Chain A
Amino acid sequence: MRSVTTIQNLLQPYFDLIIGTLSRRPSGARERMRKFRTLQHKLERYFADVTSFDGLDSLRKWKELQLKEKRNLSASSLRIFVQDVNTILGLLANDGKIQMIRLTPPPRQHASSEGFNIEQLLHFTFADVQQLWLSIQGSTEQELTLLFALIICSGCHPSHLIHLRVGCVEKRTITIQSGGLIQSVLLEPARTRLYKFVLTMKLTAEDGVFMPNCYKRFVACLKSQCSMLGVPNITPSQLMYFSRFLMVRNGVPAYVVASMGKRNSFSPLGEDNFELIKDISQLVIGENKC
């Protein structure tokens, strides 16, 4: 067997192969490439004293690695981690460097309703969101109020929305360049609010609508408002899932809503679907009350 000095030299060709394949994808697959690079660093640290492939040929060691990562990663991240480890193990086994070793990935936590995460919406109701909106509207900064309205009216994740530029706002849609093209709808009350905000702040087409630290401030604001009002804690992601939930509840097919606010995937809403959801935002952030 070929004697190699470091674990880095042993694994580098396999990671190069995977990352090379991923980089040829049209979308770039940056997130997958980042995950594999992280995995490479983890493996190099964990097998630091290994100098030959014999040191990798131990199911016990790989299982210990899985157990170690279980403490640090969430269930869904651990699932991806184990699947990636299995990819590397498969490549090593195909080359005859080690025996065929397979780790068992943990089962999906949220197997159902992919992209909608109904599981995260079980602890609060429509009335809670409406109460939260009334409170945020009355007490906090205009920027955070606008972000709340945009989440509800576009179904986009706030971490994407903060990259929104004035020039990318259209009549019914918004376009965001953030690690890929993200497009979504823009429903009425938020659109008017957005225009007013742009005029008040005297922003130009190249300017970003939100400040860079806006997301952190928004998270803190939601948390404090929720505890003050006595409503269950609602995170910005849950707010986005709620907005998408409302769209589906009003009759838009799930596959249409699922592609909104997603990187490099957008199916424009037909006129019928737009009519179905145009009142959703009025329900939450309009003047109506429960």
Chain B
Amino acid sequence: MGGKRATGRNTIRAVFSHFSQAYDLESLVMYIVFLMNYLCGCRVTEITSLVPSQVDFYLNLIKFRTKDAGSRKNTTKVIPLPPFLRSQLFLYTKLLEDCGHNYRCSSLLFRMCDGNPIPITTSFVNDYYHKICIANGIEHFTSHCVRYQTQTDFTKEGLSFEFTNCVLSHYSYRDEIFNPYADISFVEFEKEYYRIANILLQEYLA
């Protein structure tokens, strides 16, 4: 096999059903990471480098930032928050507040607080996905395969090429919305994005 490829819809469905039966804090954190990975088409580094101020509940958007990794230049992307993901994130921040944790003061939004806080890394997420694969008897996949599935699903549901690139923040197309040389409206992008995210979530959460 070897090469990276899209996970397939059955795998995504199995992951959603796995998380629907888990109720601990670790599962909630990983569920949100998975939702961002799938719905926002994020790399794990983009998710794990999130700080609380990058999630704007009032404007309903997330500002992602990826630090330099090798030769890759810094990237930013702004993705609208789908209502379901918003509710999960809101629940997570409320839970942190209830636990007496001042999440706004911590440097990172997602940490595993089992005794000493452990920052979540790409290998941590991939290991977690591997455990899900073993528990549910599905084929092994990585966080990047989920990005491929995002591209596949969003394109299949009719999201246009420039909007898909806004979601995935591909190197040559990143930040098209905030690029003065392109004519892309955030409102149109948001409308299309919500429509397709709702279709996909209805399918997986049914």
Contacts and interface: CB of A to CB of B under 8 A. Distances in A.
A123 to B, nearest CB: 5
A123 B104 CA distance: 10
Contacts of A111: 73-74
Interface in B56-80: 56-59, 61, 63, 65, 73-76, 78
Interface size class of A (residues with CB under 8 A): 35 or more
Interface in B102-155: none
Given A114-B179, A122-B54, 20 more contacts: A107-B73, A110-B74, A112-B175, A113-B178, A115-B180, A118-B63, A122-B63, A123-B51, A126-B56, A232-B53, A246-B59, A248-B178, A249-B78, A249-B186, A250-B186, A252-B185, A254-B179, A254-B184, A258-B180, A290-B58
23 contacts: A110-B74, A112-B76, A112-B178, A113-B175, A113-B179, A115-B180, A116-B178, A122-B51, A122-B65, A122-B76, A125-B53, A125-B56, A125-B59, A126-B56, A246-B59, A248-B178, A250-B186, A251-B185, A253-B184, A253-B185, A254-B178, A255-B183, A258-B180
Contacts of B53: 122-125, 128, 232
B63 A121 contact: yes
Nearest to A126: B58
B180 A114 contact: yes
The main secondary structure of chain B at its interface with chain A is: loop
Interface string A212-255: 00000000000000000000100000000000011011111111
Nearest to A273: B185
Interface in B164-179: 174-175, 177-179
Interface string B29-56: 0000000000000000000000101111
B24 interface: no
B161 interface: no
Closest 6 CB pairs of A and B: A251-B187, A258-B180, A113-B178, A112-B175, A126-B58, A118-B76
A247 to B, nearest CB: 10
Contacts of A122: 51, 53-54, 63, 65, 76
A135 B76 CA distance: 30
Contacts of A254: 177-180, 182, 184
A249 B59 contact: yes
B188 interface: yes
B181 interface: yes
Nearest to B169: A112
A118 B175 CA distance: 10
A232 B88 CA distance: 25
A248 B186 contact: yes
Nearest to A247: B186
Contact of A108 (B55, B73, B175): B73
Nearest to A108: B73
A119 B74 contact: yes
A252 B180 CA distance: 11
A112 B78 CA distance: 12
Highest count of chain B CB atoms <10 Å: which of A253, A259, A276: A253
A284 to B, nearest CB: 10
Given A122-B51, A123-B51, A249-B186, A255 B73 contact: no
Range class of the B interface residue count: 20 to 34
B182 A255 contact: yes
Given A108-B73, A249-B186, A255 B180 contact: yes
A205 interface: no
A109 interface: yes
A181 interface: no
Nearest to A113: B178
Nearest to B61: A249
A4 interface: no
Interface string B10-36: 000000000000000000000000000
A203 interface: no
A123 B107 CA distance: 11
Contacts of B54: 122
Contacts of B61: 249
A127 interface: yes
B183 to A, nearest CB: 5
Interface string A24-57: 0000000000000000000000000000000000
A124 B59 CA distance: 12
A142 B166 CA distance: 41
Contacts of A110: 74
